[in-house]
């Protein structure tokens, strides 16, 4: 699947294109398919998200998973500070990242 | 330490107002990211993996307790309760919101700090010896010259759009504690046969994808021509640096391609021209600056003896305290490298404690080391036990200066958008391994440095043992290097062979140290043994 991602203009937070808006949760990401590059271009012009770009990913039973390690770390947070990730209370939350 | 005058403060305040307005226009959509990016970078604001990152300059690594408290307040108020001290004596915050940037810069300006020129293709923060003004082996305190260069390079209109970033280090002793020869310009204050002070200029060093040790292009520049000579070096670079290719744009490539002799010839020609222009700051300005770096009021007749009855304290004294020029004093290194910790990270609480201890025990002065630790430069030996007790309680008393677990590590792929692999987990595992197997206690001096990409922020080329993280088809892989040094015996490490996975690199480091333990002779450090026996025994152990 083609995922569109970027960083929120105001907070810098990692965000994922949901089909209608942006979410900080990678699980909300949709397959943008052949529209992905056009969405990234359009959203960049809208100036709410910094440098949106298209990545490969897959939808698994556990949720959407970016293909590359860099984007998997972006999806969760720093592997060395689980307390600062999106799921600080879940010690297994990062098991799929590495 | 240096105090802003009205001009310094006015310039910094004006920049805060200017950037605040630029941020407002960006948030209102009046500036695109392409338009805004160079503006934010000139103010130290990056966009990293998870958020904006702000890099704050700590000129030549010197801080007072008020400034350290302000850094702690910023960590707590605008970030997530911690900061990361860097390999260029700065501090970075990893979780900054764009809308807060103006307020943060205003808070910094209130304590005479800023983030100006901590990014972009300009002259960056001037670094120096973290023991400057305290060590007995320096000719003079190098910091007044670093400050003079800071003032010259700040907002210098000719050098705000260089071919690439530009880093300068200034030292004043034979011992190099600032990786001086691995900078774009390294300056060593020296004394000539007539007993006059001058500056030796080393130009064209650096790490990154093409590591080079700077050649000395001038052994003696009179100190009243220091700025003029630096300007000549920059002018030749600015004129001929490779703007066409980012990867060949650093001055080291220019010096290498022109040859040191031809580069030097052009610098000397430019220097002769500039001498007639009268650009050197007035002598009175240097003298004014020097007054800020006068020795504090050291007490005399202090006791030299230290009660070593507590073995943990004694080990910390032996490892982390360094001889001082004043009798009865030492410089004490506060390690930010606890076993399993994140090298260079300090919480807001730890920063406040360090500030308090500096106020109480070190004439209100602190230094950031490029090795990501903190120094209290002037501590009475009589106060060491009380200092150590306070540090120990806060997890800041790891006795590991220059030991295998005193690891330099860049933020790596956990934070950095340029990284290819994570650095911090490797550092954590190595420090845990050597704590668990007990070998850390017997290895002696061993400088281990880890970078998560070829840009080498973790100085891997200059580690006795260096580790470089690379991306191999989407999987983290780690190359091992041996034999580097960033001290006065500067050398560049060599790659041992094929890389390792995350677990394998920790094993590989242990195997390399086992070779050293088996082959070392009396008094040899790891680096000495490597230089004596060469790479082959290590390769045999790693791949044989």
* Cβ contact B422–A79 (<8 Å): yes
Please give the CATH architecture assigned to the domain spanning B311-393: 2-Layer Sandwich (3.30)
CATH 1.10.260.40 fits B408-543, yes or no: no
**What pLDDT score does A90 carry?**
85
Q: Does B22 touch chain A (CB under 8 A)?
A: no
Nearest to A10 among B27, B33, B80 (CB): B27
pLDDT tens digits for B80-131? 999 999 999 999 999 999 999 999 999 999 999 999 999 999 999 999 999 9
Mean pLDDT, rounded, of chain B: 97
The rounded distance, in Å, linking the Cα atoms of A19 and A14 is: 16
Structure tokens at B457: 């922020």
**What pLDDT score does A80 carry?**
95
User: pLDDT grade, residue B351 (50/70/90)?
Assistant: very high
ipTM of the complex: 0.96
Q: Which residues from A are below 8 Å from B29, CB to CB?
A: 47
| Domains of chain B by residue range | 6-109, 134-291, 311-393, 408-543
Q: Which residues from B are below 8 Å from A9, CB to CB?
A: 26-27, 98
Q: How far is A35 from chain B (nearest CA, A)?
A: 22
pLDDT tens digits for B258-312? 999 999 999 999 999 999 999 999 999 999 999 999 999 999 999 999 999 999 9
| Domains of chain A by residue range | 2-68
B147 pLDDT higher than 90: yes
**What pLDDT score does A96 carry?**
87
Asked if B134-291 and B408-543 have one fold, the answer is yes
Which CATH code fits B6-109? 3.90.480.20
3-state secondary structure of B453: coil
Please give the CATH architecture assigned to the domain spanning B134-291: 2-Layer Sandwich (3.30)
pLDDT tens digits for B446-465? 999 999 999 999 999 999 99
Would you tell me how many other CB atoms lie within 10 Å of the CB of residue B278?
Answer: 8
Q: Which residues from A are below 8 Å from B415, CB to CB?
A: 78
Q: ∠ CA(B195), CA(B200), CA(B201), 5° rounding?
A: 165
For B376-400, what is the mean pLDDT? 98
Q: Which residue of B has its CA nearest to A47?
A: B29
Instruction: Count the alpha carbons within 13 Å of B190 in the hemisphere toward its beta carbon.
Output: 18
Question: What is the full per-residue pLDDT of chain A (98 aa) written as tens digits?
Answer: 999 999 999 999 999 999 999 999 999 999 999 999 999 999 999 989 999 999 999 999 989 999 999 999 999 999 999 999 988 888 788 888 88
DSSP string, B48-63: -SSSEEEEEP-GGGEE
């Amino acid at each position: 699947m083609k995922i569109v991602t970027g960083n929120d203009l105001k907070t810098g937070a990692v965000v994922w294109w949901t089909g209608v808006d942006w979410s900080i949760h990678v699980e909300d990401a949709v397959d943008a398919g052949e529209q992905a590059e056009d969405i990234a271009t359009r959203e960049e012009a809208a100036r709410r998200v910094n440098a949106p770009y298209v990545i490969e990913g897959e939808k698994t039973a556990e949720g959407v998973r970016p293909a590359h390690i860099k984007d998997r770390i972006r999806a969760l947070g720093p592997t060395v500070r689980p307390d600062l990730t999106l799921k600080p209370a879940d010690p297994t939350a990062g098991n799929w990242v590495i | 330490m240096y105090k802003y005058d009205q001009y310094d403060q006015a310039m910094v305040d004006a920049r805060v107002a200017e950037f605040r307005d630029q941020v407002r226009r960006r948030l209102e959509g009046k500036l695109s990211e392409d338009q805004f990016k160079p503006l934010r970078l000139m103010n130290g604001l990056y966009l990293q993996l998870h958020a904006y990152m702000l890099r704050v300059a700590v000129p030549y690594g010197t801080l007072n307790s008020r400034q350290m408290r302000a850094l702690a307040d910023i960590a707590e108020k605008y970030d997530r309760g911690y900061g990361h001290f860097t390999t260029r004596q700065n501090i970075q915050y990893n979780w900054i919101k764009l809308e807060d940037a103006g307020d943060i810069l205003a808070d910094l300006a209130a304590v005479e700090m800023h983030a100006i020129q901590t990014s972009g293709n300009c002259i960056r923060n001037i670094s120096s010896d973290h023991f400057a003004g305290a060590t007995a082996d320096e000719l003079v305190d190098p910091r007044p010259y670093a400050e003079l260069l800071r003032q010259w390079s700040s907002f210098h209109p000719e050098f705000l759009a260089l071919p690439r970033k530009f880093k300068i280090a200034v030292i004043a002793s034979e011992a190099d504690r600032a990786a001086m020869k691995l900078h774009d310009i390294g300056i060593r204050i020296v004394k000539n046969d007539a007993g006059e002070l001058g500056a030796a200029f080393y130009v064209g060093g650096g790490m990154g994808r093409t590591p080079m040790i700077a050649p000395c292009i001038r052994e003696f520049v009179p100190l009243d021509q220091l700025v003029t000579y630096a300007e000549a070096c920059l002018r030749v670079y600015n004129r001929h640096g490779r703007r066409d290719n980012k990867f060949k744009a650093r001055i080291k490539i220019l010096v290498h391609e022109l040859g040191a002799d031809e580069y030097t010839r052009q610098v000397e020609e430019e220097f002769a021209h500039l001498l007639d222009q009268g650009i050197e700051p007035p002598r009175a300005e240097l003298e004014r600056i020097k007054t800020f770096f006068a020795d504090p009021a050291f007490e005399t007749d202090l006791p030299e003896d230290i009660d070593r009855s507590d073995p943990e304290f004694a080990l910390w004294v032996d490892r982390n305290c360094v001889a001082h020029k004043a009798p009865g004093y030492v410089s004490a290194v506060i390690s930010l490298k606890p076993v399993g910790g994140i090298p260079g990270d300090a919480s807001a609480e730890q920063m406040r404690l360090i500030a308090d201890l500096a106020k109480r025990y070190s004439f209100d002065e602190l230094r950031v080391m490029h090795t990501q630790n903190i120094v209290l430069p002037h501590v009475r030996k009589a106060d060491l036990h009380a200092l150590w007790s306070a540090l120990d309680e806060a997890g800041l008393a790891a006795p590991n200066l220059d030991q295998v677990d005193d690891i330099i590590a860049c933020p790596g792929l956990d934070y950095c958008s340029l990284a290819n692999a994570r650095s911090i987990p490797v550092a954590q595992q190595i420090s845990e391994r050597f704590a668990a197997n007990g070998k850390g206690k017997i290895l002696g001096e061993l400088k281990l440095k880890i970078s998560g990409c070829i840009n080498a922020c973790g100085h891997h080329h200059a580690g006795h043992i260096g580790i470089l993280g690379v991306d191999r088809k989407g999987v983290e892989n780690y190359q091992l290097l041996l034999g580097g040094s960033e001290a006065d015996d500067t050398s560049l490490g060599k790659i041992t062979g094929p890389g390792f996975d995350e677990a394998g690199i920790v094993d590989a480091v242990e195997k390399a140290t086992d070779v050293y333990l088996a082959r070392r002779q009396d008094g040899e450090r790891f680096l000495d043994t490597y230089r004596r026996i060469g790479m082959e025994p290590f390769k045999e152990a790693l791949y044989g």
